[in-house]
Structure 1
Amino acid sequence: MKAGQLDAIERLYRRRVPPDKVLSPELARTMCQITLDIRRPIAVVLTRKGQMQEIVVGTDLTLSPATLARFRAGVQSLRGLRVIRTQLHDQPINQELLTDLAYLRLDLIGVLSVDSDGLPGNLYLAHLLPPNGTGQLFNVLKTTAFHQSPVVFDVFIEELEAGLQRVRGHATKEGVASALLVSASSMSRAEQEDRLGELAELAASAGISVIDRLTQRTTGGHQRYLLGRGKLKDVLIQTLHRGADMVIFDQTLSPAQSRAISEVTDIPVIDRTQLILDIFAKRAHSREGKVQVELAQLRYLLPRLSGKGADLSRLGGGIGTRGPGEAKLETDRRRIRERIAHLEQDLRQFARHQDQRRARRNRHGMPVLSLVGYTNAGKSTLLNVLSKSHVSAQDRMFETLDTTSRRLRFPRDRQVIVTDTVGFIRDLPQELLGAFRTTLEELREADLLVHVVDAGAADIDVQISAVVTILRDLNLDALPRTLVFNKCDRLPPDEAALLCRRYGAVGISAIHPDTLHPLLRHLEQQLTLLVPDTGMPAVKGPDVLVLASGG
């Protein structure tokens, strides 16, 4: 463009639009004259006060990072900006502009046609609608000549925000966060749906309502956004359209992908690892459990510590600030590293205490049975029934985080220690595996691992394989194991018996104590072979409990 044309465009920044006008007649005429002169469309980005925020030349509607950072938009809120663009041909708003309207959460988007004399022609306007049952995302207003536009902007935006406020108030009253689940990988659609089913269970365990699930098959994954940019736009628009509060990816986002996605949206976007970390943070009750969870969170957060302040607050814990400066960023990183070192020291102290407890236990000569298995397989319920304990055992994933040990007396009057540990899951985040290594080291002292499996699970082989893989990673795969299929009452008796024969497992239902007698006899036989009874006197005490045998 020529210098004079650039000067004319720059002078538009001095213009102001009255609060009740979508676009003032003077600004409209000037924009049309410039468009006719440069033969290219121009778009003005206006605030609700009528001030000029940006001017975009060309057909691509892109807002600067500074504007996006200053004017944020949420699921039930608009960005506070409207865009009016000129065009040389008299055509209605196209789908691309409507997509930008939804994606950017604009107050209003408009197209102003330019006639052959460089004067304003027809005005085409569209705006978003609050989430509704009809599925309609936006409303395209009736075409009018620019000078006959019926829209009184300040009244219009007040009514639109009031509608959004009603939706926001309803969602707040319900008090349940909602999410859209996304899977993008080279897996088959069936595998992706299976994983999203498990992700939905994790979301429910975290108190999140799942609105919808989306899948996309990718060959190698898109390096920048995991999804393609266009598909990511569709996901974010669907999130806004359905009134969801966040997007949860089944795949773990790299630090670069997390930063790139956060730059293009204000909607919270988390991955599977963050969701599991959040569940662990809610469920940790003991001092040791809280230390391990915080350590895992900080290890996950450290490489992602950059950019927006929102990134620093998603995992909570009070670490980090909103300052984007490099010096401040380095200060935050140093604080996190110092905190990690302090937490690791605490874990070493916990490990020494565990060694002391194990030494006392070994002096009494009591064998140790450790319950392991996929999360929500029923390990805590089994522990409660075996030892008449009252450990929390709700039907949700990762209910148990802290190691629990109880005494059990077999019918032949031999005592053993039964321990229950955190459940496993496929692709267990490495941050959690590392942080909970101290707790899982308790398994190393076990004489026999009791691998509990949900007999009603649709993916039994996957769950068994996930547990075996984690045991191998912990160098515990050489320990003797007994396979136990729990929840057999949910299957027809013949099917449960066939399943147990196929896997060489013992079938039980932990909520029906009368089904446990074969398991008790089997465990007692196994321990007799592995740890012969030395004849040492049993340790008496109020916590020595008996499960009487009826067999």
Structure 2
Amino acid sequence: MSSAASPTPHAAGGPTRAVLVGVDLGGHAPFDPTLDELALLAESAGDVAVARIIARRKAPDAALFVGSGKADEIKAMVAATAAQGVIFDQALSPAQQRNLEQHLGCPVADRTSLILDIFGQRAQSHEGKLQVELARLQYMATRLVRRWSHLERQAGGIGMRGGPGEAQIELDRRMIGDRIKTVKDRLEKVKRQRGTQRKARERRGTFRVSLVGYTNAGKSTLFNALVKARSYAADQLFATLDTTTRQLWLAEAGGSVSLSDTVGFIRDLPHKLVEAFEATLQEAADADLLLHVVDAASPNLAEQMAEVERVLAEIGADTVPQVLVYNKCDLLDDAAQPRADHDEVEAHPGVRRPRVFVSARDGRGLDTLRQVIAGVVRARLNVEPVEPVTTE
């Protein structure tokens, strides 16, 4: 379970057994009827899903999010499966989370705290750790009453007038506020450093390409295949958090471009996390070209592409030219295989984008992708095509 959900220790240090809960609130809110993505998130955090429960409501219950009847059903499922916690696919308010924990008798995490927990585990660089710490501090700041309920044993201020634990809670709130300010100041320094690096690349005339896409679309695998790098890549959500930049040689363009691998996007990515990763995501906003990597074998392809477009708009990168890269074509059935490795599609009315079908795993379509990137570079820089060198 997420550390934000105050998990209870379990035997032998094994994975936490969790019941997954999804609430269908109608067409106005995103909903995964299978809870498959939440199960992958739980697995990425080190938990194991032992049961799944779906609830349907017109609106969230103010106290328990799911209502008392469904809460009783969840409680019975927790007992029947010997689960040690419950994970909700939606964001819970501090009061809802506190009430659910009291009703169910076990820790409760929501989608936001689960994603924050994964980010906390995966961040490697100093910048990445600062970004995750900021988002988690901002999340914790809204949940001090719940997290510090044990402090009610402590007396309040002078003369016992402050109420149980009030002085300690205020102290912790002030400490978190001070820490948030410190982390923000450090991230601002990192942001200035990145700005200096970007200006240096601009002075050198470096063409900047950034990989973006839904988490687990295969960005890092594609990055490694293109530049022969050894960035961490795995078949799991948020395998990569820290931006990695390498030079990609394009023979057809007669030079190299700067290629950056960025953090993946996901549905309901916490807004505070987007804010915290502003310095990293700025790589995409400042790019000359985005390679929007898509999992061609995903049944939720359209929804995932739409979510990436939404986040790109949020960070001001929606006007950057894109090449759509349909990855994992090796997982498609024979009937679903594309007829050509390269075509064009209408992304928006009046906006057409190149589309390339590839398999980063077996190398299919990578030469075509390099040629497409080189074509964009030549068009932007008004460079004539470079003829391949032949030997007698």
TM-score, scaled to structure 1: 0.61
Query: Across the two proteins, how many residue pairs are aligned to each other?
Result: 357
How far the C-alpha of 1:365 sits from its partner, in A, is 1.3
Give the corresponding residue for 1:357.
Answer: 197
From 298, 321, 337, the counterpart of 1:496: 337
Which secondary structure state, in structure 2, belongs to the residue aligned with residue 398 of structure 1? coil
How far the C-alpha of 1:193 sits from its partner, in A, is 4.3
From 166, 176, 193, the counterpart of 1:326: 166
Q: Distance in 2 between matches of 1:510 and 1:395?
A: 13
Which secondary structure state, in structure 1, belongs to the residue aligned with residue 35 of structure 2? helix
CA offsets 1:486-525 (integer angstroms, 9 cap, x no match): 0001113552316976846210000122421111111110
How far the C-alpha of 1:259 sits from its partner, in A, is 2.5
From 324, 335, 348, the counterpart of 2:175: 335
Give the corresponding residue for 2:158.
Answer: none
The amino acid that maps onto 1:421 is T
* 8 Å Cα contact 1:253-1:271 kept in structure 2: yes
Give the corresponding residue for 1:440.
Answer: 281
Q: Structure 1: give runs of 5+ residues left out of the alignment.
A: 1-73, 76-167, 313-322, 536-547
Give the corresponding residue for 2:221.
Answer: 381
Which secondary structure state, in structure 2, belongs to the residue aligned with residue 512 of structure 1? coil
Segment drifting more, 258-267 vs 482-491: 258-267
Within 5 Å, which residues of 2 pair with 1:229-248? Answer: 229-248=68-87
* 8 Å Cα contact 1:485-1:507 kept in structure 2: yes
How far the C-alpha of 1:332 sits from its partner, in A, is 0.8
Give the corresponding residue for 2:362.
Answer: 512
Within 5 Å, which residues of 2 pair with 1:475-494? Answer: 475-494=316-335
Which secondary structure state, in structure 2, belongs to the residue aligned with residue 497 of structure 1? coil
* 8 Å Cα contact 1:195-1:250 kept in structure 2: no
Give the corresponding residue for 2:119.
Answer: 280
Give the corresponding residue for 2:263.
Answer: 422
Within 5 Å, which residues of 2 pair with 1:383-422? Answer: 383-412=223-252, 413-422=254-263
Q: Distance in 1 between matches of 2:85 and 2:41?
A: 15
Q: Distance in 2 between matches of 1:194 and 1:484?
A: 27
Q: Distance in 2 between matches of 1:374 and 1:458?
A: 13
Q: Structure 2: give runs of 5+ residues left out of the alignment.
A: 1-6, 152-162, 346-353
Give the corresponding residue for 1:369.
Answer: 209
How far the C-alpha of 1:236 sits from its partner, in A, is 1.8
The amino acid that maps onto 1:254 is S
Give the corresponding residue for 2:315.
Answer: 474
The amino acid that maps onto 1:507 is F
Give the corresponding residue for 2:305.
Answer: 464
* 8 Å Cα contact 1:369-1:446 kept in structure 2: yes
Which secondary structure state, in structure 2, belongs to the residue aligned with residue 406 of structure 1? strand
Which secondary structure state, in structure 1, belongs to the residue aligned with residue 251 of structure 2? coil
Which secondary structure state, in structure 2, belongs to the residue aligned with residue 220 of structure 1? coil
Give the corresponding residue for 1:530.
Answer: 380
From 244, 247, 250, the counterpart of 2:89: 250
* 8 Å Cα contact 1:185-1:221 kept in structure 2: no
* 8 Å Cα contact 2:356-2:365 kept in structure 1: no
* 8 Å Cα contact 2:227-2:247 kept in structure 1: yes
CA offsets 1:393-419 (integer angstroms, 9 cap, x no match): 011000110010000111233110000
Q: Kindly tell me: are residues 498 and 219 of structure 1, through their superposed partners in 2, closer, same or farther at Cα, counting changes over 3 Å?
A: farther
* 8 Å Cα contact 2:19-2:49 kept in structure 1: yes
* 8 Å Cα contact 1:292-1:435 kept in structure 2: yes
Q: Distance in 2 between matches of 1:466 and 1:291?
A: 25
Q: Distance in 1 between matches of 2:213 and 2:328?
A: 13
CA offsets 1:522-544 (integer angstroms, 9 cap, x no match): 11101111233499xxxxxxxxx
Q: Kindly tell me: are residues 360 and 533 of structure 1, through their superposed partners in 2, closer, same or farther at Cα, counting changes over 3 Å?
A: farther
Q: Distance in 2 between matches of 1:303 and 1:358?
A: 36
Q: Distance in 2 between matches of 1:183 and 1:389?
A: 39
* Pair member with larger Rg: 1
Q: Kindly tell me: are residues 267 and 311 of structure 1, through their superposed partners in 2, closer, same or farther at Cα, counting changes over 3 Å?
A: farther
How far the C-alpha of 1:384 sits from its partner, in A, is 0.5
Give the corresponding residue for 2:154.
Answer: none
The amino acid that maps onto 1:389 is A
The amino acid that maps onto 1:516 is L
Q: Kindly tell me: are residues 203 and 324 of structure 1, through their superposed partners in 2, closer, same or farther at Cα, counting changes over 3 Å?
A: farther
Q: Distance in 1 between matches of 2:50 and 2:343?
A: 40
Give the corresponding residue for 1:199.
Answer: 38
* 8 Å Cα contact 1:306-1:324 kept in structure 2: no
* 8 Å Cα contact 2:17-2:50 kept in structure 1: yes
How far the C-alpha of 1:310 sits from its partner, in A, is 7.0
The amino acid that maps onto 2:245 is S
Which secondary structure state, in structure 1, belongs to the residue aligned with residue 318 of structure 2? coil
* 8 Å Cα contact 1:408-1:417 kept in structure 2: yes
TM-score, scaled to structure 2: 0.85
Q: Kindly tell me: are residues 214 and 507 of structure 1, through their superposed partners in 2, closer, same or farther at Cα, counting changes over 3 Å?
A: same
Higher relative contact order (CA 8 A, sep 6+): 2
* 8 Å Cα contact 2:119-2:238 kept in structure 1: yes
Q: Distance in 2 between matches of 1:403 and 1:454?
A: 20
Q: Distance in 2 between matches of 1:248 and 1:424?
A: 20
* 8 Å Cα contact 2:74-2:104 kept in structure 1: no
